[in-house]
Structure 1
């Protein structure tokens, strides 16, 4: 029952995060593809259709849905907003905002998308640099958080009499609860220290 209650949401969250990362990683190349199609004289809808035929997943299938929604009367910017909301992609939400503004005030959309794609690539490069530089801190945090429960598990199997007073007395349970609370606070603090938002 425990596995059935907790495993499916965890599995779906992992798959969703993987799909979201694939979307964000492929987005600059897709914007470059749309920009090239626009420079060749195609409309925005035709450029999106080019992505559907030649682009990577999961963007190709999502843009196919955009085309279907556009054909039944939804403005293409609103359909793009739906994609940004489903993937929780701030980068694509900013791209849609730029497209919406450009279509209202005019300008070269192909050049705008090229600029946005270049900015996304620079941000991705900076994000990878930060992740590399913070790897030591993250690894230290994982080791520090894993050591107490692993050591307790080791002692439970190697010398159970040593841990018996901890679970046989109410004061032992109070100590366990205090240690768990301190571990939680420490884990949250370390995760915030090594997490850098870009």
Structure 2
């Protein structure tokens, strides 16, 4: 190992030790009012900790203030808190924007540690300059931060795909309940109790807001404004208009369920047409050569034997 790399490692270890000491000194020694009261209320209200919190004296608790400050720095660099808040709501997550930023810092630190370990192992066999290693570690930290953001987007897409798959069945059940004489709130209650899934959980939250006093039209308008699916937004707008103006709700729900099924059928046909060339690849490059080989191989063997 070159002296430059050894000095860089010693400096990194010393800096990490100083950070741990300063972080521990900045933590108040006396427990807060929440920590003193919650043990006596544990049966009534479960204690809720942020991702940066941990048991007293643990490494996570020591690094909690540092993680929070790093999360604030990530928020200043990336920004877009309203967009992140909307995506968290669409993903059905209970995290706040700050808690997500803390998780992004943790993912970035994990990437930094992996890159640093790989760089150190390589430096023992191939000593070189420390600058490329630092650049790779910084790139790994940024990749970890962005990877957590991409995972949130993937969670949003997965949840909305599940909601779209559930929508026709839920709409038909609502239409049947309304046709049987149930009101909108009673139909929602029956469908939510009899079904399970992302859309039914979303409707369960809506039903809870309605039971706390929010008008049903306003609750559905709020659902239409927060969802990222146009189908669910039209469904919510249709119910809100039907409740306000007294139009037949069952016909609206049946029509929307039929529209969603037809849209899914069209999307499946379009996907199959786009995959047509890819579906021909195994036929052309695997099945056809094997068939030609089986057809001509006996003749080639016979010609070679005749000569």
TM-score, normalised relative to structure 2: 0.42
Instruction: Write the distance in 1 (CA, Å) between the matches of 2:238 and 2:200.
Output: 21
Moved more, 80-89 or 113-122: 80-89
Partner Cα separation in structure 2 for residue 56 and residue 83 of structure 1: 18
2:274 to 109, 134, 151: 134
Look up the match of 1:162. Answer: none
Q: What residue in structure 1 maps to residue 174 of structure 2?
A: 34
Aligned length: 139
Higher Rg: 2
Which position in structure 2 is the counterpart of 1:119? 259
- 2:163 alignment partner in structure 1: 23
Instruction: Determine if contact 2:220/2:240 at 8 Å carries over to the other structure.
Output: no
Output the CA distance in 1 between the equivalents of 2:217 and 2:278: 39
Quick check: 1:93 aligned with 2:233?
A: yes
Match of 1:58 in 2: 198
1:1-198 to 2 correspondences below 5 Å = 1-135=141-275
CA distance in 1, matches of 2:276, 2:248: 44
Listed as ranges, the gaps of 5+ residues in structure 1 are 140-198
Task: Say whether the 8 Å CA contact 1:28–1:118 is kept in structure 2.
Answer: yes
Ranges in structure 2 where 5+ consecutive residues have no aligned partner: 1-140, 280-307
Q: Give 1:82 deviation, angstroms.
A: 2.9
| SS of 2:240 mapped into structure 1 | helix
CA–CA separation in structure 2 for the residues paired with 1:73 and 1:48: 16
Distance 2:230 2:189 in 1: 23
Contact 1:33/1:51 (<8 A) preserved:
yes
- Asked if structure 2 preserves the Cα contact closer than 8 Å seen for 1:51 and 1:63, the reply is no
Report which of the two has the higher share of helix.
Answer: 1
Greater RCO (CA < 8 Å, at least 6 residues apart)? 1
Between 81-90 and 69-78, the greater mean CA deviation after superposition = 81-90
Q: CA deviation at 1:108?
A: 2.1
- RMSD of aligned residue pairs (Cα, Å): 2.1
Asked whether the 8 Å contact 2:224–2:237 carries over to 1, the reply is no
CA 1:8–1:93: 2 relative to 1, 3 Å:
same
**1:60-89 Cα distance to aligned partner (Å, 9 max, x none):** 211111011112222222222333333311
Question: Would you say the 8 A contact 2:221–2:240 is kept in 1?
Answer: no
Structure 1 residues 66 and 138: alpha-carbon distance in aligned structure 2, compared to 1, 3 A threshold: farther
